[in-house]
Amino acid sequence: MTSRSDARPAPISDIIDDASVETDSAPAVAPLVGAQDLNESSLYIHRELSQLQFNIRVLEQALDETKPILERLKFLLIFSSNMDEFFEIRVAGLKSQIAFDHEIVGPDGIPPKRALAEISEITHKQIERQYAILNERILPELDRQGIRIVRRNEWSHKQKMWVRRYFRHEVAPLVTPIGLDPTHPFPLLVNKSLNFIVQLEGVDAFGRDSGLAVVPAPRVLPRLIRLPDEVCEGGDNFVLLSSIIHAHADELFPGMSVKGCYQFRLTRNADLTIDPEDVEDLARALRGELYSRRFGDAVRLEVADNCPKELTDYLLRQFGLTAAEMYEVNGPVNLARLFGLASKTHAPQLLYPPFTPSIPKSLKKAEDLFQVINKQDVLLLHPYESFAPVVDLLHQAAKDPNVLAIKQTLYRSGANSEIVDALVDAARAGKEVTVVVELRARFDEESNLSLASRLQQAGAMVIYGVVGVKTHAKLMLIQRREGEELVRYAHLGTGNYHTGNARLYTDYSLLTSDQALCEDVHKLFSQLTGMGKILRMKKLLHAPFTLKKTLLELITRETAHASAGRAAHILIKINALTDPKMIRALYKASMAGVRVDLIVRGMCCLRPGVPGVSHNIVVRSIVGRFLEHSRVYYFANNGDEQYYLASADLMERNLDRRVETGFPIDSKKLQQRLKKELELYLTDNCSAWELQPDSNYTRLLPTPGQMSRNVQSQLLEKLCGVGAQTEV
């Protein structure tokens, strides 16, 4: 591998004078000596606080003026979606620990109450920044480009007339205002739904004068409505559903006087609590639990910043929340609903230029994919290289009379995906089709229930995996008769079988007919669908049995090389690093002199740069156009280099409580390719952020005279052709 980038740290944007991604959550770390000190809490970063730092890095992309303005808006909205999930799962989990008096303190030593206090301080600051970025940077720039969200006080007479007709014909018939009185207590509101708290004056037809009402916005209506060109003066003009309801609130309460109307949104605990060991029919139990998810315990209240204190206090009491759990916002409370802005406008110049994923020469004109894969392994890097060969291989298998059986895992794919279509076709064609569907893929449970039902109706054998252990491995196995032999072909990946994600996530796919590796895949499917002891694998590493153990052994071996004075290097690219055993092993490697490069997109609980402990460890995070999702493990091994690709991150849940796989890349040609691509990640000085010892991240920028290097742009140019580069 090449040496580390000489990119210099750059300060965070100064959009708000006191705004920074840095926090004071981490204590100073003193130099430590000796392995016995590696349990010291100051050596570990709290996982939820680390996840929050990743969300902030996403928000920072909205300030990057080298990106097209609609893409900057998308990053701002992705931050909203990420924060929704952060509160639904992470914050809700911490609150549940406190509520049930089951507080878990991790290696970082931070108890849940303290963590929640720090999260509250950081999130209030960052959400305030988010709305400042939206109002002061994004919306004014969109306006200059002819894209406007027209506020109520800016509507022309023609626009007011059009909006009134829209309200009366499209909105009012679907709205159900709810007066609050002893017979109509506060309604049970759906998670993340848009609502209004309305102050009223007067007495209604039944003599009621409670003075308050709630108006839930119809969930079936779009939140962003395009104004017709004939009522505007050029450009793309939109109004928000919240503005329309707000402007006509008085029509919902005839004869009453509306004194105030304020939008709010409640976020609830959305984690499923089902215990697979306590149910006989997991699918049926899960369907019931999905309904309950919409009405979990409250964890956050978002409200318009002009809402009077007596009303916010009233809402907090209704939801059992404290003032620290309320977020007053200067804009729409449901920002994620603005994603439609990009698709509803006609301004491709304000988006990333489109690109066409490439197909390797060996596959481009191949009529028989089996013939190509039989001769050589094929490695694909999505989205730069197309996911189509994986789908085409499955379609070909479905039609091929020589294919006898297909086995596949599905974690996230979508019920109506091409992958599921091909599996349905194969089952209907009489193939033996076995699909291991993981129903408990968070937020995809409903989709997975649907695809499981569809596959079963087609005649496929659907297995729900192993009780208590999620099946997260990405595997496809095709068994084909060729002459007198039964030949196996496999696809192993670092990402999901989701064609949409394959255009947005970076992931590796390996297409292989390697006899030993395919035999291992066959054995793993046997373990998933049948029963028996652990089967010995020749090449495949698999959690929860051998993956963690082997990775620890490989790290220890690298440590021994360094201790003996031999060159040693570990390079790991993953999405998250939280497992304490892995962190301690990497600390020991660093202390022995091993150079450790970690490319960790999201959570990282390891603290780099601590003198005497992690001084040889550098952690960087790449945030760009595509979501970095591939997992790669490299070990220099004194010149006999080893590369593994995997479905697993270095998290306890992945290594100890999931079915995961790690598979070797043995081909020297493919190893050289991986080396060159990893080097691009290590020398990126445009989209890279480096983790500091104090747990904050600093963005890297080119030094004066240094060439700008953006790994995603370089890969687009290299794999998709000249002219595909999208960022400077």
Q: Above 50 in pLDDT, residue 122?
A: yes
- Which H or E element spans position 390? helix 388-399
Residue 693 belongs to domain spanning = 540-728
Residues 57, 58, 61, 62, CA torsion sign? negative
Q: Are residues 456 and 560 located together in one domain of the fold?
A: no
Catalytic residue from among 248, 395, 472, 498: 472
Let me know if 472 is a catalytic residue. Answer: yes
Query: Residue 52 falls within a domain, yes or no?
Result: no
HSE-up of residue 624 (Cα within 13 Å, Cβ side): 28
Residues 300 and 84: beta-carbon distance below 8 Å: no
Tell me whether the omega of the peptide bond preceding residue 111 falls within 30 degrees of 0, making it cis: no
Is 428 annotated in a binding site? The answer is no
Whole-angstrom Cα distance, residue 441 to residue 635? 31
Query: Residue 57 falls within a domain, yes or no?
Result: no
Residues 78, 84, 89, 95, CA torsion sign? positive
pLDDT band at 565 (very low <50, low <70, confident <90, very high): very high
- Tell me which residue of 491, 514, 500 sits closest to 645, measured CA to CA: 491
Query: Residue 40 falls within a domain, yes or no?
Result: no
Domain boundary among 322, 350, 378: 350
Q: Are residues 470 and 598 located together in one domain of the fold?
A: no
Which ranges of 258-308 would DSSP assign to H, the alpha helix?
A: 282-293
Residues 17 and 694: beta-carbon distance below 8 Å: no
Is 382 annotated in a binding site? The answer is no
Whole-angstrom Cα distance, residue 646 to residue 621? 18
DSSP state, residue 129: H
- Which H or E element spans position 396? helix 388-399
Domain boundary among 539, 559, 594: 539
Query: Residue 15 falls within a domain, yes or no?
Result: no
Q: Are residues 647 and 592 located together in one domain of the fold?
A: yes
- Tell me which residue of 695, 558, 701 sits closest to 28, measured CA to CA: 695
Q: Identify the residue with better confidence: 341 or 2.
A: 341
Whole-angstrom Cα distance, residue 355 to residue 377? 26
Query: Residue 374 falls within a domain, yes or no?
Result: yes
Query: Residue 142 falls within a domain, yes or no?
Result: yes
Q: Are residues 514 and 580 located together in one domain of the fold?
A: no
Q: Are residues 373 and 422 located together in one domain of the fold?
A: yes
pLDDT band at 365 (very low <50, low <70, confident <90, very high): confident
Q: Above 80 in pLDDT, residue 531?
A: no
Q: Are residues 534 and 560 located together in one domain of the fold?
A: no
Query: Residue 23 falls within a domain, yes or no?
Result: no
Q: Are residues 534 and 587 located together in one domain of the fold?
A: no
Sheet with 178-179: list strands edge to edge.
178-179, 212-216, 194-201, 257-268, 298-304, 326-329
Say what the pLDDT of residue 296 is: 76
Longest Cα separation, the chain: 89
pLDDT band at 192 (very low <50, low <70, confident <90, very high): very high
Is 165 annotated in a binding site? The answer is no
CATH classification at residue 409: 3.30.870.10
Q: Are residues 535 and 546 located together in one domain of the fold?
A: no
Determine the residue type at 685. Answer: N
Q: Identify the residue with better confidence: 437 or 699.
A: 699
| Total count of domains within the chain | 3
Q: Are residues 216 and 334 located together in one domain of the fold?
A: yes
Report the predicted TM-score, pTM, of the whole model to 2 decimal places.
0.90
Is 442 annotated in a binding site? The answer is yes
Question: What number is the average pLDDT over the span 359-366?
Answer: 90
Query: Residue 75 falls within a domain, yes or no?
Result: no
Q: Are residues 369 and 342 located together in one domain of the fold?
A: no
Using CA atoms, how far residue 522 sits from 86, 488, 529, in Å, is 37, 9, 11
CATH classification at residue 157: 3.30.1840.10
Q: Are residues 342 and 409 located together in one domain of the fold?
A: no
DSSP state, residue 134: I
Which tens digits make up the pLDDT trace of 446-468? 666 778 878 888 888 888 877 77
Domain boundary among 316, 350, 384: 350
Mean pLDDT of the chain: 88
Q: Are residues 428 and 548 located together in one domain of the fold?
A: no
